[in-house]
Amino acid sequence: MTLQAVKLCAEKGHPFEVVFSQQWVLSETPVGALSGFQAYKLGHWDLHTGPDLSTAYAADLDRRIFAAVMGQAVDLDGSFVDDAVLRGHLASAPDAEALAETLTMMGGRYAFVVVGPGFQGLYLDPSGCLGAVYEPGARRVASTLFMVLDRDVVPDTNYPFQALAATGAGGRYAFGVTPDAHVRRLLCNHALDLDSFEPHRHWPHPDTDFTCPMMMDAIEARIDTVITRQRQIIDGLTRAVQPTMLPISGGDDSRVLLALSAEMLDRYALFFVHRANNISLRDGE
């Protein structure tokens, strides 16, 4: 068996380990040789991650609990999640499900897998920045379509992609749909049950309270909480990830990140702008 990603790189004469260097695949069955990739064992699952994808791994063989975090994540204590930090969370968790619940509170750009007795699931970061697609028939999950397929794409004819593209607004797939009829994308705030291969929403919880008294002190207290957590995440990332770069894109998001980084600017190796509009043009000047 050979993944489509490997086949395409061979056909085009491109090095697989470079083109797919930050990608990953999780499978119950062998996926064939993946040049440059690191392999991890999570129970009866095999995880393969690219050479440029930061991956933390932990295993408790006595309790048969395994976990892996792909990408860059900062826990609630402000620690960048590496092997040692993940082992600590695993050791303190009463079971696999409790470990997964703890890891859902991480900030950053990541996906993680937890496998244990009676529980096995794959989760995304709160924004779904490091995505995942899955094919139930193959019982395989991966970062992108060609990393999950070992066959040609079967076009999804139910989604009006061409009609949307013809409007001039740009065609894109939504609602978990992918170009393949049998592959679906996992949505943010959802987890994939690796037993049933069914997604389920894990957040918000039924008792999550979104109310806020419309008084200035209460509003400012909520804002202060967000600021504190965001600065904690930036602190953890900029200490652990080098070189760190911050693009100023001309929108509010990057400006907020820059403001929150005010006391950590010396940790950035590079700031740069995309000259795509009048605002970003002024940023560049």
Span 154-199, pLDDT tens digits: 999 888 877 777 777 667 888 999 999 999 999 999 999 999 999 9
Burial environment of residue 282 by CB neighbours within 10 A (0 to 12, 13 to 18, 19 or more)? exposed
Tell me, what's the pLDDT at 278?
74
Burial environment of residue 122 by CB neighbours within 10 A (0 to 12, 13 to 18, 19 or more)? buried
Could you give the CA distance from residue 72 to residue 55 in angstroms, rounded to a whole number?
A: 8
Contact between 45 and 115 under an 8 Å Cβ cutoff? The reply is: yes
Angle between helices 96-103 and 83-92 (to 10 degrees): 130
The string of pLDDT tens digits covering residues 56-97 is 999 999 999 999 999 999 999 999 999 999 999 999 999 999
What residue has token string 């794409």?
A: 153
pLDDT band with cut points at 50, 70 and 90 for residue 212: confident
Omega within 30 of 0 (cis) for the link into 204: yes
Q: What DSSP character marks residue 104?
A: T
Structure-block tokens of residue 152: 């040609």
Burial environment of residue 125 by CB neighbours within 10 A (0 to 12, 13 to 18, 19 or more)? buried
Is the pLDDT at 209 greater than 70? The verdict is yes
CA-wise closest residue to 171 among 151, 156, 183:
156
**DSSP codes joined into one string, 174-213:** -TTB-SBTT-EEPPTTEEEETTTTEEEE--S-TT------
CA–CA–CA angle 232, 269, 278 (5° rounding): 90
What residue has token string 């900030």?
A: 107
Return mean pLDDT, the chain. Answer: 93
pLDDT band with cut points at 50, 70 and 90 for residue 24: very high
